[in-house]
């Protein structure tokens, strides 16, 4: 089955997901996406929300405020997201990197994937999330749900690596950040609700097209 067909089925059955999930209060608003993309490493979104709320309560909502707050204080505030000492270090390092562009908007306009991947603590999934959901660039985000669903469908191998799977999506879809944005969100929705570790195939909109290699 074609990737675009899968996308059409998921979009028509689940509807637009309106990603990235933002509560607002950060300046610029894309800064919340950048911070959230780092905080969400190895934890659930509920925990990220608590950490973001703590940052908002202390008004640490901008690049300048992140730069001006010491690492220990940031670590305390983001404690709910887990690995908080490591993540505070990553946030500070990332903020220093963004500062080299002058401001967040310049960073988002000019950043390239290779540069982002060189920043300490920014792996491919985090980099692609920032590129796609904060900068609006066409960089497909891969995660564990993507690997699980598309290997079960028989469209990719189980052991496929991040870059190979990203290329598979990017080479088989129109290069359109709006499609990438919606598609990743729809994959996450399906992975959370239906194609779980124990899949609910009888409820799955892809059921008739899926090879169910489980």
Site of interaction with ligand SF4 (CB under 6 A): 149, 152-153, 194-195, 199-201, 204, 206-207, 210, 212, 214
Q: Residue 73 or 193: which CB sits closer to ligand SF4?
A: 193
Q: Residue 16 or 207: which CB sits closer to ligand SF4?
A: 207
The residues near 8 (Cβ < 8 Å, ≥ 6 apart) are none
Q: Residue 104 or 153: which CB sits closer to ligand SF4?
A: 153
Taken as a whole, the chain contains a residue count of 214
Minimum distance of ligand SF4 from residue 195's CB (angstroms) = 3
Minimum distance of ligand SF4 from residue 182's CB (angstroms) = 18
Minimum distance of ligand SF4 from residue 190's CB (angstroms) = 7
Minimum distance of ligand SF4 from residue 158's CB (angstroms) = 12
Q: What is the DSSP string of 176-195?
A: -HHHHHHHHHHHHHHHHHTS
Taking the C-alpha atoms of residue 36 and residue 51, their distance in angstroms, rounded to an integer, is 9
Burial of residue 137, with CB atoms counted within 10 A of its CB: 0-12 exposed, 13-18 middle, 19 or more buried: middle
Q: Residue 134 or 149: which CB sits closer to ligand SF4?
A: 149
Q: Residue 13 or 86: which CB sits closer to ligand SF4?
A: 13
The residues near 77 (Cβ < 8 Å, ≥ 6 apart) are 51, 54, 55, 58, 60
Are 94 and 100 in contact by the 8 Å Cβ rule? The answer is: no
DSSP state of 81: G
Q: Residue 105 or 156: which CB sits closer to ligand SF4?
A: 156
Minimum distance of ligand SF4 from residue 7's CB (angstroms) = 13
Taking the C-alpha atoms of residue 162 and residue 143, their distance in angstroms, rounded to an integer, is 8
Minimum distance of ligand SF4 from residue 122's CB (angstroms) = 30
Taking the C-alpha atoms of residue 170 and residue 146, their distance in angstroms, rounded to an integer, is 13
């Amino acid at each position: 089955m074609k990737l675009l067909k899968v996308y059409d089925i998921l979009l028509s059955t689940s509807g637009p997901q309106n990603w990235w999930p933002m509560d607002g209060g950060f300046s610029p608003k894309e800064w919340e996406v950048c911070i959230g993309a780092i905080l969400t490493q190895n934890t659930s979104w509920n925990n990220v929300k608590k950490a973001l709320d703590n940052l908002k309560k202390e008004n640490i909502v901008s690049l300048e405020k992140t730069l001006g707050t010491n690492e220990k204080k940031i670590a305390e505030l983001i404690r709910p997201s887990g690995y908080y000492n490591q993540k505070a270090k990553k946030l500070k390092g990332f903020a220093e990197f963004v500062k080299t562009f002058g401001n967040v908007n310049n960073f988002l306009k000019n950043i390239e994937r290779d540069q982002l991947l060189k920043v300490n603590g920014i792996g491919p999934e985090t980099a692609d999330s920032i590129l796609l959901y904060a900068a609006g660039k066409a960089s497909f985000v891969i995660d564990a749900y993507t690997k699980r669903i598309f290997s079960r469908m028989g469209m990719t191998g189980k052991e496929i690596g991040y870059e190979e799977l990203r290329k598979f999506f990017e080479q088989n879809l129109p290069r359109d950040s709006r499609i990438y944005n919606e598609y990743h969100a729809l994959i996450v929705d399906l992975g959370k609700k239906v194609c779980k570790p124990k899949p609910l195939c009888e409820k799955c909109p892809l059921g008739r097209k899926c090879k169910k290699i489980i």
